[in-house]
Amino acid sequence: MAEGPIRLTSARVASPIGPVTIVALGGRVCGIALSSEQKWLRGALKRRFGRFEIEDAPDSTGAADGLSAYFAGDLAAIDRIAVDAGGTPFQAGVWAELRRIPAGRTVSYGELADRLGCREAVRAVGAANGQNPIPIVIPCHRVIGSDGRLVGYGGGLPTKRWLLTHEGALLA
């Protein structure tokens, strides 16, 4: 007997950077999409789960409340959101290290690779950063180029700039 599709829940949050969609499985966030990333997230969920259905549901994970608090100025609120990003062991390691970067700080891709003990894998670290299915909560926006430039953000560089300014990492 074939198994049915994975059942995911979805909640939405209005934010200063546009609507944010939160997708969860079993009480943990497994995906977040900014308004420009809806198609990308659906593809990532399909690669991870195969068949799935998304149903709008109340914020059972608390992630919508946590993101709302973050956008209202409680920058630590996202640290309390439970996640299940999936991914390979390498990606999971990169994503765990991203969660250790405090709000208001940035690191370069090289620094991130150093923290992971794999300086020679800077490009792989960058690729894992770019495949992060839970932006903002897994704060890939806190990673910048080695020269201090803002580079590589799926939600767009204006959104990355807004997030870093909101966190006090950049001057307005």
> Which CA distances in Å does 96 have to 77, 90, 122, 138, 147?
17, 10, 16, 8, 24
**Over 80: is that where the pLDDT of 158 sits?**
yes
Q: Which band of pLDDT confidence, cut at 50, 70 and 90, is reported for residue 6? A: very high
Average pLDDT over residues 40-47: 93
**Over 70: is that where the pLDDT of 137 sits?**
yes
- CA–CA separation, 102 and 33 (whole Å): 22
**Over 90: is that where the pLDDT of 167 sits?**
yes
Instruction: Please report the pLDDT score of residue 45 as a whole number.
Output: 95
- CA–CA separation, 10 and 38 (whole Å): 12
Return the amino acid letter for 85.
Answer: A
Domain residue ranges in the chain: 6-80, 89-166
Locate the DSSP E strands across the chain. 6-13, 20-25, 28-34, 52-56, 107-108, 143-144
For 6-80, CATH number out of 3.30.160, 2.60.220, 1.10.3470, 4.10.60 equals 3.30.160
Instruction: Please report the pLDDT score of residue 38 as a whole number.
Output: 84
Q: Which residue has the higher pLDDT, 74 or 60?
A: 74
Task: Please identify which of the residues 17, 25, 98, 140 carries the catalytic annotation.
Answer: 140
140 is catalytic: yes
* CATH class of this structure's domain 89-166: mainly alpha
